[in-house]
Amino acid sequence: MGRDEDQGVGNRQEGARETGRVKPTVGRDRLKLTALALAGGGALWLGFFPANLGFLGFVALVPFLYLIARVKPRGTYLAGFLGGLLFGALAVQWVRLAAPAMYFAWLGLALLLAMHFLLFVGLTRWLVHSARLPLLLAAPVVWTALEYGRAHIDIGFAWYLLGHTQHDYPIVLQAADVFGAYGLSFLLVMFNVVVLQAGYWLASQRWPSVFAPSALLLPAPRGLLAAAGLTASVMIACLAYGGWRLSQTEFAQGPKVALVQGNVPQEVRNDPALGEEQDAHFDQLGAQAGAAGADLIVFPETSYTFHWLHIPAEHRDKLSLFGEEMLRLSERFAREKPRQWNAALLLGINSLVYRSEDFRPFNSAILLDRNGSVLGQYDKCCRVPFGEYLPFVQTLPFMKWFSPYDFDYGIDPGRELTLFELPSGSQYRFAVLICYEDSVPHLARRFMRLARPTEPIDFFLNISNDGWFRGSEEHEQHLVAARFRAVENRRALARAVNMGISAVIDGNGRMAALPGETWGDSKAVAGIVAAYVPIDHRSSLYVFWGDILPQSCAVLLGLGMCWAVVNAWRSRRAGKLQVEGKS
Q: What is the model's pLDDT at position 220?
A: 82
Q: What is the model's pLDDT at position 194?
A: 96
- Of 89-98, 168-177, 311-320, 332-341, give the lowest mean pLDDT range: 311-320
Sign of CA pseudo-dihedral 95, 100, 106, 108: negative
Q: What is the model's pLDDT at position 398?
A: 61
Residue 543: partners with Cβ closer than 8 Å, 6 or more residues away = 177, 445, 448, 449, 488, 489, 490
- pLDDT exceeds 50 at position 1: no
pLDDT band of 402, cuts 50, 70, 90: low
Q: Distances in Å between the alpha carbon of 134 and those of 100, 139, 226, 408?
A: 46, 8, 12, 52
Asked which of 198, 226, 248 is the last residue of a domain, the reply is 248
Domain count for the chain: 2
Residues 88 and 189 reside in one and the same domain: yes
Residue 82: partners with Cβ closer than 8 Å, 6 or more residues away = 34, 37, 38, 41, 114
pLDDT band of 4, cuts 50, 70, 90: very low
- pLDDT exceeds 50 at position 284: yes
Residue 195: partners with Cβ closer than 8 Å, 6 or more residues away = 58, 59, 62
Residues 59 and 168 reside in one and the same domain: yes
Give the relative orientation of helices 135-152 and 441-450 as an angle to the nearest 10 degrees. 70
Q: What is the mean pLDDT of residues 91-100?
A: 91
Share the mean pLDDT of the chain: 89
Residue 347: partners with Cβ closer than 8 Å, 6 or more residues away = 299, 303, 304, 308, 333, 365, 366, 367, 368
CB atoms within 10 A of CB 501: 27
Q: What is the model's pLDDT at position 397?
A: 64
Alpha-carbon span 164 to 291, nearest angstrom: 37
Residue 566 located in a structural domain:
no
Residues 244 and 265 reside in one and the same domain: no
Residue 568 located in a structural domain:
no
* Residue 88 and residue 96 in contact, taking contact as beta carbons nearer than 8 Å: no
Q: Distances in Å between the alpha carbon of 268 and those of 19, 69, 100, 253?
A: 63, 52, 16, 38
Q: What are phi and psi of 416, to 5 degrees?
A: -150, 160
* Residue 329 and residue 377 in contact, taking contact as beta carbons nearer than 8 Å: no
Q: What angle do CA 266, 268, 274 make, to 5 degrees?
A: 150
Q: What is the mean pLDDT of residues 4-12?
A: 42
- pLDDT exceeds 50 at position 136: yes
Give the residue numbers spanning the domain of 528.
253-537
Residues 234 and 265 reside in one and the same domain: no
CB atoms within 10 A of CB 574: 10
* Residue 333 and residue 378 in contact, taking contact as beta carbons nearer than 8 Å: no
Sheet harboring 503-505: ordered strands across? 420-422, 428-434, 459-465, 492-498, 503-505, 511-513
Q: What is the model's pLDDT at position 325?
A: 87
Q: What is the model's pLDDT at position 568?
A: 76
Residues 98 and 163 reside in one and the same domain: yes
Alpha-carbon span 236 to 242, nearest angstrom: 10
Residues 214 and 265 reside in one and the same domain: no
Residue 417 located in a structural domain:
yes
Q: What is the mean pLDDT of residues 24-48?
A: 91
Burial class (CB in 10 A: 0-12, 13-18, 19+), 372: middle
Asked which of 203, 226, 248 is the last residue of a domain, the reply is 248
pLDDT band of 323, cuts 50, 70, 90: confident
- pLDDT exceeds 50 at position 403: yes
Residues 474 and 456 reside in one and the same domain: yes
Q: What is the pLDDT of residues 69-91, one digit of tens each?
A: 988 888 899 999 999 999 999 99
Report which of 122, 357, 136 is spatially closest to residue 231, judged by C-alpha positions.
136
Q: What is the pLDDT of residues 345-386, one digit of tens each?
A: 999 999 988 877 788 899 999 999 999 999 999 999 988 777
Q: What is the model's pLDDT at position 12?
A: 42
- pLDDT exceeds 80 at position 203: yes
Q: What is the pLDDT of residues 212-230, one digit of tens each?
A: 777 777 888 888 999 999 9
Asked which of 196, 220, 248 is the last residue of a domain, the reply is 248
Give bridge partners of residue 429 from the DSSP assignment. 421
Residues in the chain: 583
Alpha-carbon span 242 to 240, nearest angstrom: 5
Q: What is the model's pLDDT at position 324?
A: 85
Q: What is the model's pLDDT at position 11?
A: 43
Q: What is the model's pLDDT at position 275?
A: 84
User: Quick one: what percent of the chain has pLDDT higher than 70?
Assistant: 89
Report which of 125, 138, 47, 22 is spatially closest to residue 79, judged by C-alpha positions.
125
Q: What is the mean pLDDT of residues 301-325?
A: 85
Residues 269 and 315 reside in one and the same domain: yes
Residue 311 located in a structural domain:
yes
Q: What is the model's pLDDT at position 400?
A: 63
Q: Tell whether pTM > 0.85.
A: yes
* 3 state SS for 413-481: CCCCCCCEEECCCCCEEEEEEEHHHHHCHHHHHHHHHHCCCCCCCCEEEEEEECHHHCCCCHHHHHHHH
Residues 282 and 174 reside in one and the same domain: no
Burial class (CB in 10 A: 0-12, 13-18, 19+), 416: exposed
Q: What is the model's pLDDT at position 210?
A: 76
Residue 567 located in a structural domain:
no
Q: What is the mean pLDDT of residues 277-302?
A: 94
* Residue 365 and residue 377 in contact, taking contact as beta carbons nearer than 8 Å: yes
- pLDDT exceeds 80 at position 541: yes
Quickly list DSSP for 110-153.
Answer: HHHHHHHHHHHHHHHHIIIIIS---HHHHHHHHHHHHHHHHHHS
Residues 214 and 356 reside in one and the same domain: no
Q: What is the pLDDT of residues 251-272, one digit of tens each?
A: 999 999 999 999 998 888 888 8
Give bridge partners of residue 398 from the DSSP assignment. none
Of 21 and 394, more confident: 394
- pLDDT exceeds 50 at position 17: no
Q: What is the mean pLDDT of residues 389-416?
A: 69
Residues 171 and 26 reside in one and the same domain: yes
- pLDDT exceeds 70 at position 405: no
Residue 220: partners with Cβ closer than 8 Å, 6 or more residues away = none
Q: What is the mean pLDDT of residues 33-47?
A: 97
Q: What is the pLDDT of residues 494-517, one digit of tens each?
A: 999 999 899 999 999 999 999 999
Q: What is the model's pLDDT at position 413?
A: 87
Residue 546 located in a structural domain:
no
Q: What is the CATH number of the domain that holds 317?
A: 3.60.110.10
Residue 577 located in a structural domain:
no
- pLDDT exceeds 70 at position 14: no
- pLDDT exceeds 80 at position 140: yes
pLDDT band of 393, cuts 50, 70, 90: low
Residues 345 and 394 reside in one and the same domain: yes
Q: What is the model's pLDDT at position 583?
A: 58
Residue 572 located in a structural domain:
no
Q: Which of 7-11, 113-117, 419-423 has the highest mean pLDDT?
A: 113-117
